[in-house]
Structure 1
């Protein structure tokens, strides 16, 4: 049923599969390096030989990520051959069947997920993207692997060198019943040169070192260390194919809104900005006043090269709003403004999107956006969070940076192809 020699595996993948007999088995390294396929095969082999006692579990950030990262690949005949026919799962169900065995699927988005493990006795567990799980969940899972010979199989991309998985387990693997294998992008010989180049273009700075080089490195200093006013600030704008907007809501803090355009030259431009800083002007605004101000700003904005008799105003395809600003979103809807959407608010992934565009020369900022220009150079990682093994921006003077992140990351599927073009 499972002939490893018939599968396109590298020597490192085969070696890790054969050696995965410890209580804790961890594959870590760069994206698309082959670690997930190797770990899933090792897990399936363990399922095939497991005894009847104890549960079999797959854990991940959410049920959706488990389906995407684990079950979908296992059901891919091109990857797993005849084995794929022995993996059954109904989308949205909390169990799957692998080689006739029931496998329980558990999402662990926060510390409360630890309660889902209490009372369980498990013999096998697979953990997808281990660094994204709460430490308490991981600890509880290990405690539940109490059947003799129980094993845990896990994968992860590198994170901070102070992350609990690195300091508490990977650095102490020689003290534990644990095996770990480090994979780099070069360890996957099946990837084309064009794909590797495209992938490398999407990751810059901190993320390149982690996701491409597979290094556990610390986030420190400026977040956008590639930012250069001489290269990224412009006085003129080309004609635009389309527009989007992003807003970061604030009452006592500053409110920031940015207009983002896709130029006919294949670059993205921050065309205009509207800000209200209640601390500076000593006057707060209501949601209705903010709505009116934003709508007026967009209705009166004119492209710098527009003809004198051309009508003013621009209507973005989408306006992405800070998802925590429920009352403002409701107000904009009530005022009939089209294309309102809650912004995607994954901070680190959003920062990575902005960084990739800046590094590739595909994102430029008009000189009139003074609030954003004042924040970019000083947008830094929080050293206190770094000490805890977390990647978080310092929450100081970041309102226009947040608005930019909302607009860019929420539209990443629209502009991702631009990264592969020559700057």
Structure 2
């Protein structure tokens, strides 16, 4: 990996001697501010000179750790300096000292997607930890990890973007004056301008990608509460109809087609017909059946008939569907459709949809009345936020779930780094 210019703030962190680092070291702040890149040389230093013993690298999943951290770490180390088993998460880093003596360090890479992930830490005695996206880790997992750092001199290094001001990480560690004054915790705050490698036009583009609460968090690096309308950037200028000549037959031929599905029996069943030209996604039609309103439930076979009629003769590349819809997936596969289980990461998915709307990369046909209605009314659960839990109100959210499934599952990360 080729490192470019470094900002003074990250240099202060990198060159602070490991023995002078805190027990918990947190790099937090805006996106693209250099937190993760700056953590790599610090972590390599810790691998080579930290106290002996097992190390842990953790994040939401092993895949996200690989994408966010390991890929760059391996480029920096060089292919002869490590072995990694992606399935088991076993990583061995090797190096030679000045006297040509060979050393190696064992590192375990584990995911922390829910409270149950805490079981992967049980029985382990750890000499250090690297935590990617700490705010996405369950509280029980994080505190168990701290308990396991029992080797003398063990330290934790982690990165995070801001979250709710009621989040345990913020209230118990980042702003806890006693822990900060004692030296148990050290916090480094970063903003876009702390990364000297970002051109001004890029910073302008990324600032334009966020609005409202997301702008305060991801650009200003503030820990603010999620409240009010979620997609406050969803406006009429994102809508189109046939008269706009925006989505023509020529445009359609250049796109890949997907159907996003939010499965419902007593709740509404939603299909969204989505075309993607590699830059913008177009929601061109919707199916929305509310059994409560219609006072008649449908079977999976009946829904599959409706699905086939909705799709027509041109089959989509994939049907992206709620992973819990097991029975309906079986029926659709039997009809010849290719199924992809949706990534149901709620807040990440919401943020990605919001970015597309802010960038005007998500356009919706005016015939999609239910999508438009939900887009304007989809709101955060403010009572849950007061208890540190961030989630949408579970009402009028079915088209919003479907578009979130598609965006989080299909679109690559670079589509959100414009």
**TM-score of the superposition, structure 1-length normalised?**
0.84
Structure 1 stretch 392-401 or stretch 11-20: which is displaced more?
A: 11-20
In structure 2, the partner of 1:9 is 6
Gaps of 5+ in 2: 96-103
2-side partners of 1:354 and 1:106: how far apart? 28
**Distance in 2, Cα, partners of 1:65 & 1:235:** 38
* 1:89 partner SS: strand
Q: Match of 2:26, SS?
A: strand
Deviating 4+ runs (over 4 angstroms): none
Deviation at 1:139, TM superposition (A): 1.1
| CA shift digits 1:370-411 (9 cap, x unpaired) | 222222211001113212323311100111222222334434
Is the aligned partner of 1:143 residue 2:143?
no
Deviation at 1:255, TM superposition (A): 0.9
Compute the RMSD of aligned alpha carbons: 2.7
8 Å CA contact 1:32, 1:185 repeated in 2? yes
Change in CA separation of 1:116 and 1:246 when aligned onto 2, cut-off 3 Å? closer
Structure-2 residue corresponding to 1:249: 263
Q: 1:89 to 1:8 in 2, by over 3 A?
A: farther
Is 1:97 equivalent to 2:120 in the alignment? no
Deviation at 1:66, TM superposition (A): 2.9
Change (3 A) 1:198 1:413: farther
Residue 170 of structure 1: how far off its partner (Å): 0.5
Query: Which residues of 2 match residues 55-94 of structure 1 at below 5 A?
Result: 55-77=54-76, 86-94=81-89
Q: How far apart, in 2, do the equivalents of 1:120 and 1:319 lie?
A: 41
1:107 partnered with 2:111: yes
Q: Is the 8 A contact 1:269 1:365 kept in 2?
A: yes
Matched, 1:330 2:330: yes
CA contact (8 A) 2:285 2:367 kept: yes
Partner of 1:351: 350
Secondary structure of residue in 1 paired with 2:108: strand
Q: What SS class does the counterpart of residue 280 from structure 1 fall into?
A: helix
SS at match of 2:71: helix
Does 106-115 or 247-256 show the bigger shift? 106-115
Matched residue, 1:308: none
Counterparts in 2 of 1:195 and 1:138: CA distance versus 1, 3 Å: same
Instruction: Report if the CA contact (8 A) 1:353-1:412 is conserved.
Output: no
1:293 is displaced (CA, Å) by 1.0
Q: 239, 248, 256: which one pairs with 1:233? A: 239
Q: Judging changes above 3 Å, is the alpha-carbon distance between structure 1 residues 87 and 204 closer, same or farther for their aligned structure 2 residues? A: farther
Q: Which residue number in structure 1 is paired with residue 101 of structure 2?
A: none
Is the alpha carbon distance of 1:86 and 1:261 closer, same or farther for their aligned partners in structure 2, counting shifts above 3 Å?
A: closer
Cα deviations across residues 297-321 of structure 1 (Å, max 9, x unaligned)? 232xxxxxxxxxxxxx543333222
- Pairs within 5 Å for 1:285-300: 285-299=298-312
Name the counterpart of 2:31. 31
Match of 2:98 in 1: none
Give the Cα–Cα distance (whole angstroms) in 2 for the partners of residues 350 and 147 of structure 1: 38
SS of the residue 2:377 aligns to: coil
| Residues 74 and 217 (structure 1), Cα distance of their counterparts in 2 relative to 1, 3 Å cut | same
Aligned length: 393
Q: Unaligned 5+ residue runs, structure 1?
A: 1-5, 300-312
For the residue of structure 2 that corresponds to 1:103, the secondary structure is strand
- Taking a change above 3 Å as real, the CA distance of residues 317 and 415 of structure 1, as seen in their structure-2 partners, is farther
Give the distance between the partners of 2:30 and 2:290, measured in 1 at CA.
42
Assess, with a 3 A threshold, how the Cα gap between structure 1 residues 121 and 12 changes in structure 2: closer, same or farther: same
1:174 is matched with which residue? Answer: 180
TM-score by length of structure 2 reads: 0.85
How far has the Cα of 1:251 moved from its partner?
0.6
Matches within 5 A, 1:34-49: 34-49=34-49
SS in structure 2 at match of 1:76: helix
Q: Distance in 2 between matches of 1:154 and 1:368?
A: 46
CA distance in 1, matches of 2:372, 2:71: 43
Aligned-partner SS, 1:75: helix
The question of 1:124 aligning with 2:128 is answered yes
- Distance apart, 1:267 and its partner CA: 4.8
In structure 2, the partner of 1:258 is 272
Q: Is the 8 A contact 2:91 2:109 kept in 1?
A: yes
Structure 2 equivalent of residue 318 of structure 1: 318
